[in-house]
Amino acid sequence: MRVFRKTYILILTLAFFVSCGSEKGEDKDKKFVQVYAEILYLTEKFKTDTIQLKTKIDSVLSVNQVEMKQIDSIASSYGKDPKKWSEFFDKVKKYLDEKSLNVRPKKH
């Protein structure tokens, strides 16, 4: 009975840590979607002003405590899995669509 109890506690503890880890992974994915989408948005908005583009991108990276090499690394790993890349880009598109809806002036 005592061995069963220890095993049960061990399984519950592992399940707790695994679930916490997946939440952090989801938060990282969400953050990556937002940062990547912002970079795409800024690239389009400032395509004729590379100096301001770099300044704006650096600002987004700084605010989110991310480095460009991290963005490149994650994008590269997603690029190796077409399904994951497609799902990621769907999230980026949704984020940009929602952002554009929030930016548009309201009609009266």
User: pLDDT (tens digit, 9 = 90+) per residue, 46-77?
Assistant: 999 999 999 999 999 999 999 999 988 888 88
Instruction: Examine the pLDDT at 108 and tell me if it is beyond 90.
Output: no
Which of 98, 32, 84, 97 minimizes the C-alpha distance to 61? 32
pTM over 0.75: no
